[in-house]
Structure 1
Amino acid sequence: MGFLDRFRRTGPKRIVFPEQLHTVEVGDLHVHTAEELVVLSTDLAGARALIETAVSRRPMRLTCGDKRPVALIPLEHARSVPTLDPKLGWLLPLSPETGAEISRRISREAPGEHELETLNLAVVVS
């Protein structure tokens, strides 16, 4: 964010980490970037948690042993982008549009690869 963006209110909005969020331990969790895209790789338990957060609009944190955690944070706007916080792990904002796309495109029961149109996020379920 540039200096003048703070006054113009353009650019991404800062994600505020929720005070309370449910934690789910999953068997596989990895996040990496590919140019502008953030790629979340997880198992079916992680996909179910992602869908649950998208539908319920309640924040959730995915953990997997000593790997970096991923916080799924529902927001009421689409102006935030995935962020890596050195202390909190990955923060993935879920706007209502992104939540609807997740619940429509990602399966609770089958592996797959999905590049979302509403957020610079791809989800790989194994």
Structure 2
Amino acid sequence: MAARGWTVPDGTSTRIYLVRFNSTAFAQSFLDSITVSGAPVPLAGAPETVLDEGWGGGKVAGTSSYVYDEAKPYGEARVRQAYVVAGDTLALVVQSRKGKEGTRSVPFHQTVILQNQLLG
């Protein structure tokens, strides 16, 4: 497992976690187990998530991406998350920002696209 996180001056916090499994089947099985009802297991600060209908990017051969947004009403910080599967590797991208504006979709989508390209 590898992890990296950073916070930019506007207060947006990004964290990326990578887990490598023994095979592609194990990676996909794990993803399936945490997204049982179509929504992933809740993260701290985001008790309920919905599929991000604005997502349509990140098409890279050999990868699949699943992007979610925190359901309204947002908590103290708006949380977005995405899962990227590339072969035997699963990435979790989490972005959050406190305040009314919360995380913006474009920077989050760009982060997911970049992670998708790096793994693809």
TM-score by length of 1: 0.30
